Structure 1
């Protein structure tokens, strides 16, 4: 007999693999053009304009790029933070320059640990994903790093926004568990969706 939870896991795994393959197939040029449009949508939003301390990710495997956001933020005196995996947790550290990064777990560029730890200073956290839906759910790589991180943050203070290509938005609601963290907003090249009531007016 198969338990419902096993069915959900199987379905999430299927969606993860399907959408990851599509994303991997993007050309570098297509990824750049789409990412440029997504980043432009984010940096012109009220959500971004009001944020002072922003958590970002260093993109891998054709994830939506974040380099334009980093450059724009620093030129507008915002604080940018990037994560490092430390003892099974995501810890965000203040980003100063590319020279302050090193290859960490999974060969992702991470800040050097002697930078300033900033998890509880974040007022906007921008995260990637493999699959999103129209209800604020997402599927990542399955390690649960972001779910654990988000559960530790003050959701009244820190807004969680996802970046994804329009083709990554699944037309039906993704099955989710209680420990899965929901997004407050999602930015694609086609639109911005808000999942927290009243957020679009702030």
Structure 2
């Protein structure tokens, strides 16, 4: 199946799960607990993640947990060249919605990729090997080409689709937390 069709199927599955909030919340709790118990989270001082869209894994609780543990939290902005830059945020950081509908930090300091201990990579569809299909802009694929730190994704079982062709520019995340 081609990536465009898989992306549509993945979005359909995510939106179905969003319509079942009790199930989605249970799955999020399992995934979050697995992540919080993992050495990659426990050892990380600087964590990069996105503010989720309503149908994605809700990162708000994870964000609050990171602040409670005094971890540095970074969130990305995207430029016209489809490149990501990560910014240090605080509970007071102001966000604005980008042209894709994603909330991005405004006027927050830039932090270099080398300082990121754990990068939580979003996606729509995943294989068990960590290959992913995102929204189609290639932003994370470009960033992952030079990023050397630990990567993970927070994945609902409804997002797993095997048997699609991985392309040369596709880079897997190192760890999946799945429920």
Q: TM-score if structure 2 supplies the norm length?
A: 0.90
Counterpart selection for 1:168 from 147, 159, 162: 159
CA, structure 1 residues 118+33, in 2 after alignment: closer, same or farther (shift >3 Å)?
A: farther
1:132 is displaced (CA, Å) by 0.8
Q: 1:68 aligns with which of 61, 66, 82?
A: 61
User: Is 1:135–2:118 an aligned residue pair?
Assistant: no
CA contact (8 A) 1:81 1:118 kept: no
Q: Report deviation, 1:121.
A: 1.1
Contact 2:88 2:108 in 1 (8 A): no
What is the CA-CA distance between 1:91 and the residue it aligns to? 0.8
1:44 and 2:34 are equivalent in the alignment: no
Q: Do residues 180 (structure 1) and 170 (structure 2) align? A: yes
The structure with the largest alpha-carbon Rg is 1
CA offsets 1:53-111 (integer angstroms, 9 cap, x no match) = 11101111411111121111111111110111123211110111254222223121111
Provide the rounded CA distance (Å) in 2 between the counterparts of 1:79 and 1:99: 13
Give the Cα–Cα distance (whole angstroms) in 1 for the partners of residues 34 and 113 of structure 2: 25
Larger mean CA deviation between 22-31 and 84-93 belongs to 22-31
Instruction: Give a deviation string over 1:106-158, Cα, whole Å, max 9, x none.
Output: 121111134233433111100111111122211111110000011121x2xx1
Match of 2:5 in 1: 14
Kindly indicate whether the alpha-carbon contact (under 8 Å) linking 1:127 and 1:162 is maintained by their aligned counterparts in 2: yes
SS in 1 for 2:136: coil
Q: How many correspondences in the alignment?
A: 176
Cα distance in 2, alignment partners of residues 100 and 15 from structure 1? 34
Partner of residue 101, structure 2 = 107
Instruction: Provide structure 2 residue ranges, at least 5 long, that are not aligned to the other structure.
Output: none
Q: If the length of structure 1 is used for normalisation, what is the TM-score? A: 0.80
What do you get for the CA RMSD once the two structures are aligned? 1.7
Highest RCO, 1 vs 2 (Cα 8 Å, sep ≥ 6): 2
Shift of 1:173: 3.8
Alignment CA distance shift 1:95-1:114 (3 Å): closer
